[in-house]
Each structure stands twice: as structure tokens, then as C-alpha cells.
Amino acid sequence: MDEPLFYLDNVSFGYGAGEPVFRDVSLQIRAGEKICVLGANGSGKSTLLKILCALIFPGHGSFRFFGQEITEQRMEDDGLARDYHRRIGFIFQNSDVQLFNASVWDEIAYGPLQMGLSGEQVRQRVADVLAMLQIENLRERSPHRLSGGEKKKVAVASVLALNPEVLILDEPTSGLDPKTERWLTDLLLELNRNGRTIIASTHNLDLAHVISTRSLVLSEAHRLVCDDSTHNVLANRELLMDVNLIDEYCHFHGDHEHIHRYTHG
């Protein structure tokens, strides 16, 4: 069997001396999968993604990428870190955190320039991504003067310009209008069909249904409580209630009991 892309063995993480953000997480992710990490706010979804992106490192346990141990010490090797961050693209929930250049063109060109590509290669990468995402009209605009949906497109473009093998997204549709949300959903599915591994955290169950075939569920006690097909996870009402992803209450219409179910989105 092929080597897993990511391998976590009894990984725990906490900030400082506080309570762990999650405990004893073990899982494997293979190339080409499309996965959602599900959990209520504060369950540790974002922290897990940051470990996969090697932005933070486990306090306990082992984390490997294609069989290679990934630690803070090893990532001090500039060559290793550069290669890792070229292969793993991370899109933050808040696009403003990710955008810092004077123009959209500069924003998209920044990553390829840091990777040492030639000027011509950089220009071609930027042109290709602008065309693919149909945002050529934004190339001279300041990222900070764009709408929320436009910022998200530029943030995605800046990552895709590196041609990563894995795309990791933290609450990717948070704050997006329906049209941009549909655009991003369609793009993620197309990228996966073309071989990219997609990993996204969300508490939006409708999004999980559309973009993933496998779901990892984190509880409010910061543990991985389910690793199953998205179909089975979304059909498990008791699980979803236990991890606070849905809620329901009963009331009566005449003589008939009626249940309303809410998703925490």
C-alpha cells in the first residue's frame, strides 16, 4: 500500500501550560482524498490544520509527511521548509490575514518569487492563475480595497500560484456570499478531480456533504471521536448532537409533535 500523505500518531497539542486543544489524535490521510474536519467552535479544527501545514508542531506524539518526521527543529532547515510549504497550500479563514502586498498581481507573484522562480516563470504563473480564476480585472487593485468574495479569490490564487499538491482550508466559506461560495465549492471539486488533496475544516454540514467523501469529527472535549465516510457521519444524528453540530427542540402543532433541527453554522 502507498505511503500515507499525512500520518499522525497519538498527537496532542496545547498552547503554553493550558489545557490541550486536542488529545491523542491518530489518523492517516492519503493523496487525492477530499476530507472535512468537523466540529463545533473551539473543538481544535483550526489547530489540527495548522499542524498539517507545519505552522505549529505537536507537543506529544508523532507527525509524518510521506514517511518523513516533521518537527520544529527539522523545519528550521530552509530547504525542507520551502519545499514543504510549496507542496502544502493553506488558506486562512480570514483572507485579510493572508493578504499584505500592494496589488493583486504582487500578492499572487509573492510565493513564486520566494521559491526562486525566474521572472518569466513568475509572470506566467500569475497570468495562468488570474485567467483560471477569472480575476484578470483585479490585477492592479489593492487587495485591501476588494470585497470579501474578491479577497477570498485572491487568497486562493496566491496559493494556487505555487501549484501545491495539497490544499488546506480553514472554514473556507465563512462570510462568503452564495455566489462566491458556489464558485469556491466548484473550484475545490475541480482541483480534486485533477489530483489535488483537499482538506477543509467546517461546521457547515451542507458544505461537508458537497466537498468531501470522508469526515473527521472532533468533540468539544478535543478528541477525534469519528473517522468515517461523510455520508455516514451526516446520517448519524446522535453523533452530530453529541459534538454540538446540530440541535433540535420539540413543540406541538395541534395534536402532533414537531421537531426543528438546527445546524450551527
**DSSP-assigned letters across all residues of 24-57:** EEEEEE-TT-EEEEE--TTSSHHHHHHHHTTSS-
Share of the chain above pLDDT 70, in %: 92
pLDDT at residue 248, as a whole number: 62
Q: Which domains does the chain have, with CATH numbers?
A: 6-263 (3.40.50.300)
Does residue 258 have a pLDDT over 50?
A: no
Q: What pTM does this model have?
A: 0.90
pLDDT digits (tens, 9 = 90+) for 122-179: 999 999 999 999 999 999 999 999 999 999 999 999 999 999 999 999 999 988 889 9
Mean pLDDT of the chain: 89
Q: Which triple of cell numbers denotes residue 226? A: 469519528
pLDDT digits (tens, 9 = 90+) for 209-256: 999 999 999 999 989 999 999 999 999 999 999 999 987 643 334 545
pLDDT digits (tens, 9 = 90+) for 54-96: 999 998 999 999 889 999 999 999 989 989 999 999 999 989 9
d(CA 48, CA 158): 22
Residue type, 196: R
